[in-house]
Amino acid sequence: GTRHVQTTSDKIDNILTHRVLGLPIFFGIMWLLFNVVFTLGAFPQDWIETGIAGLGELIGAHMADGDLK
């Protein structure tokens, strides 16, 4: 008969689609991605907050006194 050689992709598929291990691995990867996104996203978020605060101060310095200031 013919012999089927498992490729790396086949091996990964066998692990990730395993009846018992598939879902825990999936949820672990999702948890990891969630944490990476929010950890790395904190840096630009801080920059944006600082920029908006600076812009607010700049605009406020040029506004006339009144209800909006």
Answer whether 69's CB lies under 8 Å from 63's CB: yes
Provide the CB-side half-sphere exposure for 52 (13 A, CA).
Answer: 6
- How far apart (Å, rounded) are the C-alpha atoms in residues 14 and 21? 10
Average pLDDT for 7-12: 96
Please enumerate in sequence order all residues whose Cβ is within 8 A of that of 15, keeping only pairs 6 or more positions apart, or say none.
21, 25
- For the entire predicted model, the pTM comes to 0.59
Predicted pLDDT of residue 33: 98
Query: CA end-to-end span of the chain, whole Å?
Result: 84
**Encoded tokens for 29:** 């990867």
Per-residue pLDDT reduced to its tens digit, 15-67: 999 999 999 999 999 999 999 999 999 999 999 999 999 999 999 999 888 87
